[in-house]
Structure 1
Amino acid sequence: MQLHTLISLGVAVAVAGAAVKFGDYSARRIGVAVLVAWLGSQLLDSNNAYKTDLAMLALDAATLVYFVWISIRSRRLWTVVASAFMAIIVASHVATTIDLRVTIDTFKVSMAIWSYGILLCLVFGTWAGWRERRRAAASQDRP
């Protein structure tokens, strides 16, 4: 594994772990999905220098469907934005598969950028859920 891969794993584990511990329903579910997708992509990556894998496309498409389902169920804006970032990742898969002029390095950079966007959405969602729970607890403590 390369250094940037280990760094992205560390960031993903830290953000997803915080989401599972401190977040609301949506943050916990998306946090777990991010980790499963990250680990699944490492298992499915064939390190082909010329094309993307259809298995990774299927994994990311399934993650997109799950994100959209969570977005519809929770009705939180940050989940919609995270779903949009995931849709861009899936579109990057399709673009790389269809057009051979899009290099695999361009694809990997775009996946990294949009993945960090998803993690930022997850950080915001975790913070918002924690803040909402703290406010609810404070209002119950008042006489």
Structure 2
Amino acid sequence: MLDTLYSQIGLLPAVLVGVFAFWKGGESERFAMGAWVLGWMAAMLIQPDGYLYVGFQWPLFILDIAMLAVFAGLAWRYRRSWPIWAAACQLVVLTAHIAFPLAKAASMEAFYTVLNLAGYGILLAIGVGTFWAWQDRRAAGLE
């Protein structure tokens, strides 16, 4: 996965948001980022290599359902808005899993573009949530 310069540069936002979330985030942001990192590593292990269509990717679909459950659980447990945005981006990923086999004209590049952009949306939601949690603690004088 990290064999090209493009993939290494693409991982840079994840590393930056991850460091920020674990350094300045609250409990929910750290949990979400930890789940995202574990999900990313699991996806790298179970996804097929190359751009060839190998049929419906059940393991990735089940992993993405689990990630949606994590974000939905965080939205339910904590009174924050960013998990709702992260869950919405994750729902786009699940929709792409379902829609791609039905769209005969869609390419694998289009499928992976949707997955990558939704992943960056999730990272953006976690980053914004981390910033808000950090600012709330600063305003309360806890930092």
The TM-score with structure 1 as length reference comes to 0.88
Give the secondary-structure state (helix, strand or coil) at the position aligned to 2:36. helix
Matching of residue 93 in structure 1 with residue 119 in structure 2: no
Paired residue for 1:49, among 47, 52, 58?
52
Paired residue for 1:104, among 108, 118, 123?
108
The TM-score with structure 2 as length reference comes to 0.88
Aligned equivalents of 2:74, 2:126: Cα separation in 1: 13
| Residue type of the alignment partner of 2:40 | W
| Residue type of the alignment partner of 2:19 | G
Once the two structures are superposed, residues 51-74 of structure 1 have per-residue CA deviations (whole angstroms, 9 ceiling, x without a partner) of 452111111111111110011111
Contact 1:52–1:104, Cα closer than 8 Å, also in 2: no
Give the secondary-structure state (helix, strand or coil) at the position aligned to 2:141. helix
| Residue type of the alignment partner of 1:82 | A
Q: What do you get for the CA RMSD once the two structures are aligned?
A: 1.8
Contact 1:57–1:90, Cα closer than 8 Å, also in 2: yes
| Residue type of the alignment partner of 1:28 | R
Paired residue for 2:18, among 16, 24, 27?
16
Shift of 1:91: 0.9
| Residue type of the alignment partner of 1:49 | L
Shift of 1:97: 3.2
Once the two structures are superposed, residues 23-76 of structure 1 have per-residue CA deviations (whole angstroms, 9 ceiling, x without a partner) of 112211111111111111111111251145211111111111111001111121
Matching of residue 78 in structure 1 with residue 82 in structure 2: yes
Give the secondary-structure state (helix, strand or coil) at the position aligned to 1:137. coil
Hey, what does 1:117 align to over in structure 2?
Answer: 121
| Residue type of the alignment partner of 1:5 | S
Matching of residue 35 in structure 1 with residue 43 in structure 2: no
Higher helix share: 1
Contact 1:17–1:31, Cα closer than 8 Å, also in 2: no
Aligned equivalents of 1:114, 1:35: Cα separation in 2: 15
Aligned equivalents of 2:27, 2:102: Cα separation in 1: 37
Q: Give aligned-pair identity as a percent.
A: 28
For structure 2, the residue ranges without an aligned partner over 5 or more in a row are none
